[in-house]
Structure 1
Amino acid sequence: MKPILILFLVACSIAISADFLKPAKSNNSSLNPEQNTKPNIVFVLADQWRAQEVGYAGNDQIITPNLDKLASESLVFENAITTMAVCAPWRASFLTGQYPLTHGVFYNDKPLPNEALTFAEIYKEAGYQTGYIGKWHLNGHARGADPFSARDQPVPKDRRQGFDYWKVREVTHNYNNSFYFDENDVKNTWEGYDVFPQTDSAISYITKNKENPFVLMLSYGPPHDPYFSAPKEYQKLYDAGTLKLRPNVPEEFQDSARRVLAGYYAHATAIDKAIGDLLEGIEKAGVADNTIFVFTSEHGDMLMSRGALKKQRPWDEAIKVPMLIRYPGKFGHESREVFDPIGTPDILPTLLGLSDIPIPKSIEGKDFSGNLLAGKDLGNEATLIMLPVPFHEWQFKNGGREYRGIRTKRYTYVKDLLGPWLLYDNEKDPYQLNNLVDQDEYKDLQKEMEGILKKKLKATHDKFLPADEYMTQWNYLYDRTDSLRAENYLQVDR
């Protein structure tokens, strides 16, 4: 080859490489200058996805390649803790940055007050477009009405808490026959398994709004039960007979647990595929570097650990959730583990901090953005966990009880109305099989945990009262399906 031609090809190669290495935003010459200073937010919420069920966490039997790749370029929160492990309370605490006894949604299907200052309203005031797709679960119902009467009704405009783009249903778990209401309360149908068309809608929203800063919340229904309704091609990926279970699943429940786990995994893998599509859509829109992408879940699922299903309980299967935050423009493309605990009310102020938006005084959670941007851990000693009122699948007659507790990086400590209930060293006992409460050799540790919990309760003005006190205070009725507590509850043997 002639020397001149060689030099020409080398020059071309260098030019191509230089273009390839430019940040994604350089391809968006049409973007508003605001876009370069205000990060977009894409917040993906799964329902009932526990922290242990992702490949990047060491689970070698679940198929989550897109989340694993996302984790390889994100902040990975090893102790993301749901403050109250049930649907509507999580949503209200995230949107407001407040604890359940402040915003009042400590029971499903109770309304988040219109007066609450929320995620979308704050970002909207800062000049953002706002959109919501999927499950809402914050409209609630009128006192005395059927507790589930609002689940199939449109959410009035003044109850949408600042979200303008709107493809929402209050609640459904029929993922294959799913409808939604749009901004004008027109009823539409999601074709097929709703996770996939909801994701397509999210990609369309991002593409249409990429020239201005936007907030988009995409709220999936799965892997919340029913466990056996994922598309058949995903169900076929898992053989229930070969699945390994956590050691805290009692032997008599293990066959059932494997069947449930296979269906749960099928939902999770379907969502993982959708998340891959969504991330690709963000890349194609050219806004990946300037987009804070969050993946998390409301709460976990016991999945027959301790012989129980679903949530509300204080064990790690219910309270620990996956959480990833990717923000290439500030954190780069490298993965980093965050070990200190973060609670639900802390997520909103931390996002506001990352977005350089002042944090309203109404927010009770902590802003950890400074530590994250400095490459540090959170510096958070513990996060609060709570259940002011047991209901539905863990109502009083099923063993439900009021509790308050803390989850530190290492320990879990919980008390109920009768006193200390649970104490675990999660480092030595990751399946929480050995309750250390009231054991002599751990009395100093228990005293230390009790002190931390008391400080948390004082800081949040939580008097830890019986459930009926809060129901009366907020003028709530127990749902028709729920039991009331026995009058002799203080004498009940635990």
Structure 2
Amino acid sequence: MPRPNLLLIHTDQQRWDALGANGNDEIHTPNLDRMAAGGVNLDRYFVNAPVCMPSRASYLTGLYPSELRIFGNGVTLPEDVPTLPEFLGARGYETANIGKLHFHPHADRDHTQPHPDYGFDHLEISDEPGCYKDDYRAWVRERAPDQLDEISIGLPPAAETWQDMMGVEDGIEHRDPRFVADAVPFEADADLTHSAFVGRRTSEYVAAHADDSDPFLCVAGFYSPHSPWVVPQRYLDLYDREEITVPDLPAHLRAERAEREIDEDAPPSQQVTFDEDERRAVRHGYYAMVSEVDRWVGEILDALENAGIADETVVVFTSDHGEDLGDHLTYGKGWPGWDSISRVPMLVHWPEGIESPGRTESDLVEAVDLVPTLLDAAGVAVPSDLQGESFLPLLTDERERYEGRDSALTESRNGKILRTDRYRYTVTADGTEQLFDLETDPGEFHDRSDDDEHADALAGLRHRLIQRTTTVDREGERPIDYQY
């Protein structure tokens, strides 16, 4: 079998159940569901960090956040850390990134200046939609210069602070505010969104490399469904907002919600109530943004078919972390990494390589396993210092050689998270613990760490976490100066 092309499509902030193939019968994702029906759906796939930059750095290097010493946003991935495109580029692959990469902070730099290549031959970087003078705005300027003032979703607060300090006047019209519960229709033409940029440019890249003798790696980074909820009206119209369901909150969270006071002088992003109408509105915008990504995933899949290379292309769809959607009186991501945050979609489509397509596999898999898997699929030796393990046997006819995991580890500057078949265990640096029994409490609402009936489980999880962190933590190790 010739070496396959590799196409990694990742979104930002897409929780595992924001997908029809994972049992959500309200969300409209026909193309992703088509991908799952023709491939393998790993429905218990966990990221190794609950926020963007450490997660992306981890799953594109095959190293845990603790090895990289990156636990939060704003920390640059060092350029001397080998990445997936470097491993493949050294073996003859053409490599490209289109859209969001987020190895570098985006709020405090000049986006007209070259970005570190991190091993990519081709870079079209745009980490936020329309608010910087980057490749996305250049793409819109080429097609519809008269609509440039309508594409920014708003300047990130950190970027506004940096521009004020540096005296930068970017000349860009920015939408304000950055976050409201209600979705806002995209003001420019629907085919000029950031998702359209990523989808169209990825499709064009695929078509342009269809006849190349060398295989390619293309990483397509969508910003959606990250807030704020700005999306063309056509995708909002796919849903009747009043018909969208939201999970019931337990009594203690309803009581906490009732005691909250709204500061009318606070920014809109802080004036949140978490009532059912607001949570339904948030889901409406979020689902619509997922549906827009789905539309462009469909175009990318069609481009592979039209180019005649779909059979020999490994297509992976995943995300860097999830979104709580108000389920625990929070919006966004982060600690303590509930399933809504740390569990994300993982679809793999590869007609020439997958055995029995249409399967769902429910083994515990970590995002740090992605690089070894793609190298394995490409016939490239997996470097021994990578910390993930290939899940390629789950996709092929060699499942018997897949040892699998008994837990998934997620790391944060707040602490460590261990997810097993039944439990989620968290511990912070000061020793504070939480234990959630997903068998009886799938919403992860009730901490059982002080319950006598869970004492044995708690002790076992402590022991398992010590084992996991002992094998992961290699800080301080230096090469041996071998002599004989």
TM-score, scaled relative to structure 1 = 0.77
Distance 1:163 1:153 in 2: 18
Distance 1:68 1:178 in 2: 33
Distance 1:128 1:163 in 2: 10
Distance 1:333 1:86 in 2: 34
Distance 2:110 2:228 in 1: 17
Distance 1:362 1:113 in 2: 17
| Distance 1:265-1:179 versus aligned 2 partners, 3 A rule | farther
Listed one character per residue, the Cα deviations across residues 30-79 of structure 1 (whole Å, up to 9, x for unaligned) are: xxxxxx51011000000001001111111111111111111112211111
Aligned equivalent of 2:89, options 96, 109, 124 = 124
Quick check: 1:178–1:189 contact (8 Å CA) kept in 2?
A: no
Distance 2:110 2:403 in 1: 38
Equivalent position SS for 1:307: coil
**2:455 match:** 443
**2:280 match:** 258
Point out where structure 1 has 5 or more consecutive residues left out of the alignment. 1-35, 142-147, 389-401, 464-494
The answer to whether the aligner puts 1:42 opposite 2:42 as a matched pair is: no
Aligned equivalent of 2:128, options 168, 172, 181 = 172
| Distance 1:349-1:167 versus aligned 2 partners, 3 A rule | same
Give how far 1:462 is off. 7.3
Distance 1:354 1:409 in 2: 27
| Distance 1:438-1:420 versus aligned 2 partners, 3 A rule | farther
**2:409 match:** 384
| Distance 1:153-1:342 versus aligned 2 partners, 3 A rule | farther
Quick check: 1:98–1:345 contact (8 Å CA) kept in 2?
A: yes
Give how far 1:446 is off. 1.1
Give how far 1:180 is off. 3.1
Aligned equivalent of 1:222, options 217, 221, 224 = 224
Amino acid at match of 2:456: D
| Distance 1:356-1:218 versus aligned 2 partners, 3 A rule | same
Q: How does 1:90-105 map to 2 (within 5 A)?
A: 90-105=55-70
Query: Which is bigger in relative contact order (C-alpha 8 A, separation at least 6)?
Result: 2
Amino acid at match of 2:128: T
Give how far 1:327 is off. 1.4
Amino acid at match of 1:130: T
| Distance 1:265-1:151 versus aligned 2 partners, 3 A rule | farther
Equivalent position SS for 1:294: strand
Equivalent position SS for 2:103: coil
**1:236 match:** 237
Give how far 1:421 is off. 2.1
Listed one character per residue, the Cα deviations across residues 248-280 of structure 1 (whole Å, up to 9, x for unaligned) are: 485552221111110011101011111111111
Aligned equivalent of 1:433, options 438, 445, 458 = 445
Give how far 1:409 is off. 2.7
| Distance 1:76-1:378 versus aligned 2 partners, 3 A rule | farther
**1:149 match:** 108
**2:165 match:** none
Give how far 1:328 is off. 1.4
Equivalent position SS for 2:134: strand
**2:294 match:** 272
**1:487 match:** none
Give how far 1:122 is off. 0.5
Amino acid at match of 1:279: L
Amino acid at match of 1:375: R
Listed one character per residue, the Cα deviations across residues 196-235 of structure 1 (whole Å, up to 9, x for unaligned) are: 13212111111111233000000000100001x1001111
Listed one character per residue, the Cα deviations across residues 85-136 of structure 1 (whole Å, up to 9, x for unaligned) are: 1111111111211111222332212211111111001111111011110012
Give how far 1:188 is off. 4.1
Equivalent position SS for 1:365: coil
Alignment size in residue pairs? 400
| Distance 1:68-1:188 versus aligned 2 partners, 3 A rule | closer
- Identity rate, percent: 29
Aligned equivalent of 1:355, options 368, 374, 378 = 378
Give how far 1:187 is off. 4.5
Equivalent position SS for 1:121: helix
Quick check: 1:109–1:137 contact (8 Å CA) kept in 2?
A: no
Equivalent position SS for 1:162: coil
The answer to whether the aligner puts 1:206 opposite 2:206 as a matched pair is: yes
Amino acid at match of 1:448: G
Give how far 1:379 is off. 1.9
Distance 1:417 1:84 in 2: 16
Give how far 1:333 is off. 5.8
Quick check: 1:111–1:138 contact (8 Å CA) kept in 2?
A: yes
Equivalent position SS for 2:277: helix
Quick check: 2:426–2:435 contact (8 Å CA) kept in 1?
A: yes
Distance 1:299 1:366 in 2: 20
| Distance 1:152-1:161 versus aligned 2 partners, 3 A rule | same
Aligned equivalent of 2:399, options 350, 353, 375 = 375
Equivalent position SS for 2:222: strand
Equivalent position SS for 1:278: helix
| Distance 1:432-1:102 versus aligned 2 partners, 3 A rule | same
Give how far 1:283 is off. 0.9
Listed one character per residue, the Cα deviations across residues 160-213 of structure 1 (whole Å, up to 9, x for unaligned) are: 1111122112x2144xx775339xxx9443761121132121111111112330
The answer to whether the aligner puts 1:89 opposite 2:50 as a matched pair is: no
Q: Which of the two has higher C-alpha Rg?
A: 1
**2:166 match:** none
Provide the alpha-carbon RMSD of the alignment: 2.1
Amino acid at match of 2:44: N
TM-score, scaled relative to structure 2 = 0.78
Quick check: 1:47–1:221 contact (8 Å CA) kept in 2?
A: yes
The answer to whether the aligner puts 1:292 opposite 2:292 as a matched pair is: no
Give how far 1:154 is off. 3.4
Distance 2:56 2:404 in 1: 25
Quick check: 1:133–1:168 contact (8 Å CA) kept in 2?
A: yes
Point out where structure 2 has 5 or more consecutive residues left out of the alignment. 144-191, 258-273, 476-484
Equivalent position SS for 1:223: coil
Quick check: 2:66–2:411 contact (8 Å CA) kept in 1?
A: no
**1:80 match:** 45
| Distance 1:282-1:427 versus aligned 2 partners, 3 A rule | farther
Quick check: 1:299–1:319 contact (8 Å CA) kept in 2?
A: yes
Quick check: 2:321–2:333 contact (8 Å CA) kept in 1?
A: yes
Distance 1:135 1:323 in 2: 18
**2:98 match:** 133
Quick check: 1:112–1:140 contact (8 Å CA) kept in 2?
A: no
Listed one character per residue, the Cα deviations across residues 402-428 of structure 1 (whole Å, up to 9, x for unaligned) are: 120211233211111232522122233
Give how far 1:150 is off. 2.0
